[in-house]
């Protein structure tokens, strides 16, 4: 997108969209699988990328109706190699990302339950949920877009979204991230636990299941992943669990993380979650169960 605006020294959004969609058609095999859906999905991505670039003031709308790159951005892009071919220089990509991260994006996050969100206009809610992108975990993306309502209706879990009041508008809310909480039995094998672990969990003799609070889902929106910290998400999830503990009791909150995802496991450990055990699950992925004792906070 930036390359096209830079190359033509400004263009109208409608013209840019047509150009990008045509390029997308030429460079993909989407014709074989629901082309209308994929084109609409791609147009939605174009809209949100454009909105984000305006938020960080890299591009702007001119009085003549043309989108252009602001002077600071032009000076930076003049130092880059923006040819017709793909950007394949890793150092250049890192430099561009670092530059984009220097723009200060003002955010005003607020935690809203899914049920609260549904009190808004349905069209706005649907557009908002469809704007959640999580390229590293498409299951999380699919949950937000298509499964959140069903899981809430069946009381399987309760979902919460972090919305940005600063950049939301009449058409869309901006989703920074979301998490889902549930009540779930944590199953343990006492033979594999030491005395301290048993004492910390308040386990009775022969007890194998601990009623506890479970962070079922947690993820950031790709659009804001460099501007919004995952710690904020996790802290807000734990704060809600504290409220539940005040009403119902309990001491443990836990979650599962892919054992191979070192950075994810490290993130939870840095936030005082302790590795308990791991198991191979039905989808063939080995996941670590990590717990946090909230009575120690």
What is the pLDDT at residue 33?
67
Give pLDDT tens digits for 243-257: 999 888 888 999 999
Give pLDDT tens digits for 96-138: 778 777 888 899 999 999 999 999 999 999 999 999 999 888 9
Phi, psi of 58 (to 5 degrees): -80, -35
28 pLDDT more than 70:
no
Lowest-pLDDT range of 29-38, 91-100, 228-237, 269-278: 29-38
141 pLDDT more than 80:
yes
What is the pLDDT at residue 29?
58
What is the pLDDT at residue 144?
96
What is the model's pTM? 0.86
User: What Å distances lie between residue 35 and 25, 28, 32, 46, 49, CA to CA?
Assistant: 9, 10, 7, 16, 21
10 pLDDT more than 70:
yes
User: What Å distances lie between residue 141 and 260, 263, 281, CA to CA?
Assistant: 20, 20, 21
What is the pLDDT at residue 9?
77
Burial of 176 from C-beta contacts in 10 A (0-12 / 13-18 / 19+): buried
What is the pLDDT at residue 180?
97
What is the pLDDT at residue 37?
82
> What would the two tokens of residue 111 be?
């935690």
What is the pLDDT at residue 88?
55
Task: Name the nearest CA neighbour of 174 among 283, 82, 50, 52.
Answer: 52
Average pLDDT for residues 268-284, to the nearest whole number? 89
The chain-wide mean pLDDT, for the chain, equals 87
pLDDT above 70 covers a percentage of the chain that reads: 93
- Listed in sequence order, the residues at least 6 apart from 74 whose beta carbon sits closer than 8 Å to its beta carbon are 6
290 pLDDT more than 90:
yes
Give pLDDT tens digits for 47-94: 999 999 999 888 998 888 899 988 888 888 887 765 544 555 667 667
């Amino acid at each position: 997108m930036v390359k096209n605006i830079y190359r033509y020294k400004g263009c109208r959004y409608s013209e840019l969209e047509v150009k990008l969609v045509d390029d997308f058609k030429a460079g993909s095999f989407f014709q074989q699988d629901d082309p209308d859906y994929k084109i609409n999905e791609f147009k939605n991505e174009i809209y949100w990328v454009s909105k984000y670039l305006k938020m960080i003031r890299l591009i702007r709308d001119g009085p003549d109706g043309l989108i252009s790159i602001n002077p600071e951005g032009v000076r930076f892009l003049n130092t880059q190699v923006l040819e017709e071919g793909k950007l394949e220089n890793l150092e250049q990509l890192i430099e561009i990302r670092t530059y984009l991260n220097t723009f200060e994006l003002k955010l005003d996050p607020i935690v809203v339950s899914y049920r609260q969100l549904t009190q808004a206009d349905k069209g706005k809610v649907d557009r908002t949920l469809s704007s959640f992108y999580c390229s590293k975990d498409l299951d999380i993306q699919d949950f937000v877009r298509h499964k959140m309502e069903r899981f809430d209706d069946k009381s399987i879990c309760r979902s919460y979204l972090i919305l940005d009041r600063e950049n939301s508008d009449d058409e869309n809310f901006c989703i920074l991230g979301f998490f889902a909480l549930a009540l779930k039995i944590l199953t343990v094998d006492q033979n594999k636990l030491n005395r301290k672990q048993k004492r910390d969990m308040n386990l009775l003799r022969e007890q194998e299941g601990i009623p506890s609070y479970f962070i079922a889902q947690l993820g950031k929106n790709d659009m804001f992943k460099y501007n919004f910290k995952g710690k904020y998400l996790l802290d807000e999830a734990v704060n809600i669990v504290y409220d539940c503990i005040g009403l119902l009791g309990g001491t443990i909150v836990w979650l599962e993380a892919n054992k191979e995802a070192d950075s994810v496991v490290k993130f939870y450990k840095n936030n005082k979650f302790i590795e308990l055990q791991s198991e191979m699950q039905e989808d063939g992925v080995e996941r670590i169960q990590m717990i946090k004792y909230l009575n120690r906070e």
